[in-house]
Amino acid sequence: MPPNILIPLVFVCSLFFAWLFLFLAKRRDRQGFLYERAPSLPIHVLAVHDDAWIHGTIQSKAPLTCPWFQTPCCWFSYKIEKKKTRIVTDSKGKTRTETYWDTIYSEQDSCPFDLVGEKESIRVRTKDFAIKSTISTGYDYEWGSRRHSAHLLPLGQKVTILGVKLEDQSFGKLGQIPCLITFQTREAFVRGTDQGEKWYRRIGFFFLFLGGGGTGALLTKAQSGRVDWVLAITAGAALLTPFWFWSTYNRFIQRRQQVEAAWSQIDVDLGVRFDLIPQLVSVVKGYQKHERRTLEELSRIRAGKTIQEKIQGDQAASRLSQSLLALKEAYPNLQANEQFQALHEKLVGLEEKLATSRRLYNKVTKEWNDLCQGFPSVLLALPFGFKPKPFFNQHDS
């Protein structure tokens, strides 16, 4: 290919792939924050509009039947392929006969199902859901010239699902929260998303460097007959630098928004707990000897305004919460109190949400602080006044 065509082609293709992978990295980062924000909760503690990861076994009283394989399932993607031949001509003009499989029929279907947990089950909607893991049937050959295959979610399969408990008591997609079904644990799924985001960013920067370096190498070779590697590396760095500044600044903005969103979620959960504990105290009156002192301490805790005061208040409120949750074991008679049971389960779920919110806040705060203090991103943090933020450390005194 002539240099006057090859050089701009390399440059444009490198820029395109760099933009593509950096875009994918940004999208994966947003998805990861959304996935990690949702806690892992037992089905029986879910409240309406709770976004969470739930785990259980797929069951259905009216399942689908996968065509050909006759396997009971709640989702399948089935196809029939036929063996065909074609004549292919290579670049040298030689022909050869090639065998391939052509899809002649395909079908996909799904139905709502029940996810059965340890204490309770919930109906899962399969409208607008995404399946990240499936079971493959493999190929079943018919007369050697036709084959059948399918991917499906069979009954009895243990899965983890991200979604929202809806007002009709079902579980599914709502707003920005998707309905995702996977065989992985929540932690493994989130970790894989984070790793994907990092690799997309690295590949994007690599293509930027390759675009500048490759263009420089081709230009010097076309002009002098040999590659000037110093000039090629310099050209790669020159193209990479402005895009790195642009991408890093956007990461600062995105991390700041995530820190603020994570703190906002903690603030909401703290407010719910401050309202819930007095209700629980009033129910266990007569079992708990110091309910008045508990309420007075809670009132003092709630007065905190700054982040540090709220962190200290959360530590004290957590101790109160744990002492109230422990009453269930100390006073077996409370287990027969339906109001106590309902509030107890609600507080258990809320404590799990708070633990998830703290972990998420500390994670995005660490990423923000690493950007503010690490090299070379500190070169961008100083002129824009980006400063480290405090962690939410529950164990500080």
Does residue 9 lie within any of the structural domains?
no
Q: Is the pLDDT of residue 302 over 80?
A: no
Q: Point out the least confidently predicted range of 1-10, 25-34, 253-262, 286-295.
A: 286-295
CB 117 within 8 A of CB 44: yes
Does residue 210 lie within any of the structural domains?
no
CB 58 within 8 A of CB 154: yes
Q: What's 374's domain CATH number?
A: 1.20.1440.20
Q: Give residue 297's pLDDT.
A: 61
Mean pLDDT of all residues belonging to the chain: 86
Does residue 102 lie within any of the structural domains?
yes
- Residue 13 tokens, joined: 């293709």
Average pLDDT over residues 166-175: 93
Please tell me whether the peptide bond between 2 and the residue prior to it is cis, using omega within 30 degrees of 0: no
Give the helix/strand (H/E) hosting 108: strand 95-110
Residues 396 and 256 placed together within one structural domain of the fold: yes
Q: How far apart are CA 211 and CA 232, in angstroms?
A: 10
Q: Give residue 93's pLDDT.
A: 80
Residues 387 and 271 placed together within one structural domain of the fold: yes
Does residue 63 lie within any of the structural domains?
yes
For 127-140, what is each residue's pLDDT tens digit?
Answer: 888 998 899 999 99
Q: Give residue 288's pLDDT.
A: 55
Residues 264 and 384 placed together within one structural domain of the fold: yes
Residues 258 and 397 placed together within one structural domain of the fold: yes
Residues 165 and 268 placed together within one structural domain of the fold: no
Which one of 153, 176, 199 terminates a domain?
A: 176
Does residue 39 lie within any of the structural domains?
no
For 347-388, what is each residue's pLDDT tens digit?
Answer: 888 888 888 888 899 999 999 999 999 988 999 999 999 999
Does residue 169 lie within any of the structural domains?
yes
Residues 392 and 261 placed together within one structural domain of the fold: yes
By residue range, what is the domain housing residue 354?
A: 252-397
Residues 172 and 263 placed together within one structural domain of the fold: no
Which one of 152, 176, 200 terminates a domain?
A: 176
Does residue 381 lie within any of the structural domains?
yes
Q: How far apart are CA 8 and CA 3, in angstroms?
A: 9
Number of domains in the chain: 2
Q: Give residue 119's pLDDT.
A: 84
Q: How far apart are CA 241 and CA 362, in angstroms?
A: 30
For 102-118, what is each residue's pLDDT tens digit?
Answer: 999 999 999 999 999 98
Q: Give residue 277's pLDDT.
A: 77
Residues 160 and 296 placed together within one structural domain of the fold: no
Which one of 117, 145, 176 terminates a domain?
A: 176
Residues 385 and 279 placed together within one structural domain of the fold: yes
Q: Which long-range contacts does 318-326 make (Cβ < 8 Å, 24+ apart)?
A: 318/351, 318/354, 318/394, 320/277, 320/294, 321/273, 321/277, 321/347, 321/351, 324/277, 324/280, 324/281, 324/284, 324/288, 325/351
Q: Give residue 273's pLDDT.
A: 82
Q: How far apart are CA 358 and CA 33, in angstroms?
A: 13
Q: Give residue 280's pLDDT.
A: 76
Does residue 239 lie within any of the structural domains?
no
Q: Give residue 285's pLDDT.
A: 67
Residues 258 and 396 placed together within one structural domain of the fold: yes
Higher pLDDT, 284 or 184: 184
Residues 261 and 373 placed together within one structural domain of the fold: yes
What confidence tier does 300 reach under pLDDT thresholds 50, 70, 90? low
